[in-house]
Structure 1
Amino acid sequence: MMKLEDKPMGKESLEGTSQPLLGERHLANGKSAANGTATGSEKQKTSGSCSAPRKSHHTYSWQEIQRHSQEADQWLVVDRKVYNVTDWAARHPGGRKVLNHYAGEDATDAFRAMHPEPDIMRLYLKPLLVGELAPEEPSQERNKNPQLVADFQELRRSCEAMNMFDANLGFFSLHLLQILVLEALAWLILWHFGNSWSTIPVISVLLTISQAQSSFLQHDTGHLSVFRKSKWNHLVHKFVMCHLKGLSTNWWNHRHFQHHVKPNIYPKDPDINVGPLFLVGDLQPIKYGKKKIKYIDYEKQHLYFYMVGLPLLMPIYFNLQSMQEMYLRRYWADIVWVSSFYIRYFITYGPFYGIFGTIVLIFWIKVLESPWIAYVTQMSHIPMKMSNEENRDWLSTQVLGTCNVEQSFFNDWFTGHLNFQIEHHLFPTMPRHNYHRVAPLVRSLCAKHGLPYVNKPMLKAFGDIARALKKSAALWADIYYET
């Protein structure tokens, strides 16, 4: 754990890391609460481009920390240390909103979960240090169960001791090889047999499987679990997400990490912000019903989910969001990488189908892939509890918002091991080939603390999506049509 009396660190201390150095303008402001009991100067003085604040003995209560929970004033706690991340949020690789979601809260478990190399990350936190929790304060907010938090942290330490966070590069190399072989096989079939109608179904199936499996591989590279060296992970993630799938890595990171830190929490999880097309959970339908909002006949949303939600998630919703984000935020590297996806398709399939035909092929493959990805990602979340922010501990937050699908060889392959969604959320940087090892330990911990550990057959999980949408629609209708 980092000590307050640590000596300041110069630029050379961060050499060799892959993230941009903290400039002078990103150092902590050291704001003190209006009625706080902190001692010493009201502002931390900083010097040097990456030096730590001067020796500080500021101590804060949870009540004081919780006042700093706005976008323009964000404090959070990691390992009892208090950090002002307001200025750093704009440079946070996971996006500014992820930090804002934990402003005024204990972020210790979230910090450990999302960063595979926490010791390096603490170097970036060091200039943002403004104090620590007062000795009489608990390590977490008072509404949290300290024994549950301690037990989960002990579970994580056990996983680390068992090397469960070490990736098997052979596993992921074979996965990448599978994708490349499918892509090559599709082109060879087309080259050998020509672009007759009989080859189109075979090529479509091969490319659809390749695209779906690419989605699962980019989950690993996106969560920094395949290659421990960030520079390699960065390149592989760009290759898989941008070149193989044609989507922006920055868009995915900023969106998906919000989902991971606050799953099924309004309005922090973007994955449940699907209005006005769909109403999910209990709160959205009631809100729309009370305001007498009816953009669509929501009573039929479980039916048009099959006609709209399944086929258009990837080719329309995700692609337009990705392109919009790249353009508005000027993600030039992503634009170049994504362009290589389309260039590759036009070079490979353009001679057979022409420009228009190749565009149709790309759209068609994404339409076929879309139901696969929609089912795999939504079956573990839409049927689960959705709520406003309740400031729960990390274990409870993840378990209540996710569920698992039963393990089998086919289920593991079909879902890319995301059938272990609970373990994936609790340990997002754990390589997915180890989820089955930690699952019994997680189940035991949930049983100890009375938390539900939901594990379903796959077909039931698929059906629960429509049943959950139908239930939400009924809630909306009861309130909307009442006189």
Structure 2
Amino acid sequence: MERPGGKESVPTALVPRPKPSSFRTAGPPGYGGRILEPGRQQRGGDPSGGEPGLPSTLRTQASHPSAGFTRSQDAFLAFHRDLDFVRKFMKPLLIGELAPEEPSQDHGKNSQITEDFRALRKAAEDMNLFKSNHLFFLLLLAHIIVMESIAWFIIFYFGNGWIPTIITAFVLATSQAQAGWLQHDYGHLSVFKKSAWNHVVHKFIIGHLKGASANWWNHRHFQHHAKPNIFNKDPDVNMLHLLVLGESQPIEYGKKKLKYLPYNHQHEYFFLIGPPMLIPTYFQYQIITTMIRRRDWVDLAWAVSYYARFFITYVPFYGILGAVVFLNFIRFLESHWFVWVTQMNHLVMEIDHEPYRDWFSSQLVATCNVEQSFFNDWFSGHLNFQIEHHLFPTMPRHNFHKVAPLVKSLCAKHGIKYQEKPLLRAMLDIIRCLKKSGELWLDAYLHK
């Protein structure tokens, strides 16, 4: 590795590295969770596809701009809106540049695809597709607040009988789902030019409107975006032995005679442990414990403000216990919505160990789209354009349909499959792929 300002090459292992605990503050507000947890090295490589054991900022800074174009540069461009601002935090972490003779994870990648994708991104920038329509996002926020108000009015006017309660629960579940899509926009810095403004509104929406944690979401979600559908790197495919996914994991489990559950029936018990339980049990527990364990008092205060508002609003109608049951019923309904929308874009795609592809290819094999319609756009928060969202996370969602033809053209040029499905088929494919993976596990378990 070359030292800055010198020609001497020394073994990589001899280069001193900063203490891991310093990495958390190396970025703008909310950014620390995207690198590493305090005092913890990332196993299997950093989120942006760089050198194993190195934080993403170090690897990205080393590869941008003077060390040549690498996959980590594409991740850097994809995740950050204000590049100059972010580089201010990265500069002190630059420990050197990778010498040409040193091994790199970027070998063997299609440089032409990378070059064409960067040209596509430049075209999107020239078309102002990264410029947001603030009125669009304001109207989304307004319709969420309107639904919250309607829900209260139904109970206030019609009382707390079964029918008003069920109707109100569906209205609130809808507002929660839509708030989930909206916080996603601000979390990706796709609304305002200034990162700080996005972070503040993100905390308000995910904290005060949903009772969740912005930093928890950042840490989890950006790992998913950097390494979609990669075992041990994408937390969204960490199924805690409840499911086996893809084609390689079922065979690995089968050969090792691992049978935590009867995986050949996972397409059936998915309906019991997936859609109904993800948000009201796993996410709710993980969010609260993460905020307390990391002493994230700001996010905790935002979350407490949500619960205080909810119970002040509904305890007078249901009592404390009734309000708790009501809240969890809303979470139960929202969880179905969330799981089906988020899994139809990824669970059905390639899920495997790290193949070290270029950025464009790695996103295309792990994502698929759902056909566009006004309902599909609203229902999924424009995540029916999952391909475009993964390629350009900071692009405002109302512009996905404009960049989609350019992405399709690039896929056609390089023979990369661009998958787009009807909504119902996309959901049914979740069950089909779970059944297929379960059958692979059973065959390996019995015969290999």
TM-score normalised by structure 1 residue count:
0.82
What do the CA deviations read for 1:51-75 (whole angstroms, capped 9, x no partner)?
Answer: xxxx6245879xx77x79xxx988x
Match of 2:310 among 314, 333, 345: 345
Ranges in structure 1 where 5+ consecutive residues have no aligned partner = 1-31, 33-37, 41-54, 75-83
Match of 2:62 in 1: none
What do the CA deviations read for 1:381-422 (whole angstroms, capped 9, x no partner)?
Answer: 111001211111110010000000011111111101000000
Match of 1:396 in 2: 361
Q: Give the drift of 1:468.
A: 0.5
**Mean CA deviation greater in 88-97 or 302-311:** 88-97
Match of 1:103 among 40, 45, 50: 50
Residue 312 of structure 1 pairs with residue 274 of structure 2: no
Q: Distance in 2 between matches of 1:325 and 1:370?
A: 20
Please show how residues 377-456 of structure 1 align to structure 2 within 5 Å.
Answer: 377-456=342-421
Q: Give the drift of 1:87.
A: 6.3
**Helix, strand or coil for the counterpart of 1:195?**
coil
Say whether the 8 Å CA contact 1:418–1:424 is kept in structure 2: yes
**Helix, strand or coil for the counterpart of 2:277?**
helix
Match of 1:90 in 2: 24
Say whether the 8 Å CA contact 2:348–2:430 is kept in structure 1: yes
What do the CA deviations read for 1:350-391 (whole angstroms, capped 9, x no partner)?
Answer: 100011111011100010111111011000111100121111
Match of 2:106 in 1: 141
What do the CA deviations read for 1:157-212 (whole angstroms, capped 9, x no partner)?
Answer: 11111111111100000000000000001101111111122211221121011011
Residue type at the aligned position of 2:314: Y
Say whether the 8 Å CA contact 1:59–1:132 is kept in structure 2: no
**Mean CA deviation greater in 85-94 or 458-467:** 85-94
Match of 1:244 in 2: 209
Q: Distance in 2 between matches of 1:59 and 1:406?
A: 55
Name the structure with the higher strand share.
1
What percentage of residue pairs aligned between the two structures are identical? Answer: 53
Larger relative contact order (Cα-Cα within 8 Å, sequence gap ≥ 6): 2
Q: Distance in 2 between matches of 1:138 and 1:168?
A: 44
**Between Structure 1 and Structure 2, how many residues are aligned?**
417
Match of 2:66 in 1: none
* The structure with more radius of gyration: 1
Q: Give the drift of 1:327.
A: 1.5
Give the aligned CA root-mean-square deviation in angstroms.
2.4
Say whether the 8 Å CA contact 2:249–2:352 is kept in structure 1: no
Match of 1:156 among 112, 121, 137: 121
Q: Give the drift of 1:103.
A: 3.2
Match of 2:290 among 320, 325, 343: 325
Residue 303 of structure 1 pairs with residue 268 of structure 2: yes
> Against the structure 1 CA distance between its residues 411 and 85, is the aligned structure 2 distance closer, same or farther, given a 3 Å change threshold?
farther
Residue type at the aligned position of 2:282: Y
**Helix, strand or coil for the counterpart of 1:374?**
helix
Q: Give the drift of 1:142.
A: 2.5
Match of 2:430 among 449, 456, 465: 465
Q: Distance in 1 between matches of 2:416 and 2:268?
A: 32
Q: Give the drift of 1:464.
A: 0.5
> Against the structure 1 CA distance between its residues 262 and 320, is the aligned structure 2 distance closer, same or farther, given a 3 Å change threshold?
same
Residue 201 of structure 1 pairs with residue 201 of structure 2: no
Q: Distance in 1 between matches of 2:338 and 2:244?
A: 20
Name the structure with the higher helix share.
2
Residue 356 of structure 1 pairs with residue 321 of structure 2: yes
TM-score normalised by structure 2 residue count:
0.88
Q: Give the drift of 1:86.
A: 5.7
Residue 478 of structure 1 pairs with residue 443 of structure 2: yes
> Against the structure 1 CA distance between its residues 387 and 368, is the aligned structure 2 distance closer, same or farther, given a 3 Å change threshold?
same
Match of 2:248 in 1: 283
**Helix, strand or coil for the counterpart of 1:100?**
coil
